[in-house]
Amino acid sequence: MADNQYFTPEGLEKLKEEYKHRTEVLRGEIAKRLKEAKEEGDISENAGFDAAKEAQAVNEGRIEEIKITLETAKVFEGSSGKSTVDVGSGVKVESKNGTQEFVIVGAAESDPLKGFISNESPLGSAFIGHKKGDKLKIKTPKGEVEYKILEVK
């Protein structure tokens, strides 16, 4: 069985929507393409048929992946009221690079450019369990950086 993956309610909803789209819309579109390609005759050298079969394999693989993820998904609502950083927490930190804000999310939702960092990343995992005022040194690809936690949301 797969490890649990953490999601925001919005992230889990997006994944459910993708699953629904792939099973209810894409499957039908691909089946139609396969049928049309078969009607063209010899499928042994039919590029349209080959492309549709490849699309079908990719879609079915992704459907299975999403299904497994949904079975093990854990939803977090954020850390409102908590004073320590955890999955779902917003954290405002200060370092030599200035002040930054992050949200600690599960790996499936991480988007560092938007400030969503994985609980499994070096930065995310280092913040977990710490409180406002804590100072910690974290090894990053650019060397060791000292962070001070200014706020936990």
| Exposure b/e, 96-122, CB count within 10 A at least 16 = b | eeeeeebbbbbeebbeeeeebbbbebe
Calculate the alpha carbon distances from 76 to 40, 67, 132, 133 in Å: 51, 19, 21, 24
Tens of pLDDT, residues 33-68: 999 988 887 777 788 899 999 999 999 999 999 999
Checking if the pLDDT of 75 tops 90, the result is: no
Whether the CB-CB separation of 131 and 78 falls below 8 Å is answered with no
What pLDDT, on the 0 to 100 scale, is given for residue 130?
96
The model scores a pTM over 0.75? no
Q: Where are the alpha helices (DSSP H) in the chain?
A: 9-21, 27-39, 47-72, 122-127
Residue 77 has pLDDT above 70, yes or no: no
DSSP structural state of residue 43: -
User: How many residues in the chain?
Assistant: 153
Domains of the chain: 5-75 (1.10.287.180), 90-152 (3.10.50.30)
Per-residue pLDDT of 99-143, as tens digits, reads 999 999 988 899 999 999 999 999 999 999 999 999 999 988 888
Confidence of residue 82 (pLDDT cuts 50, 70, 90): confident
| 79 pLDDT more than 60 | no
Give the number of other Cβ atoms within 10 Å of residue 59's Cβ.
16
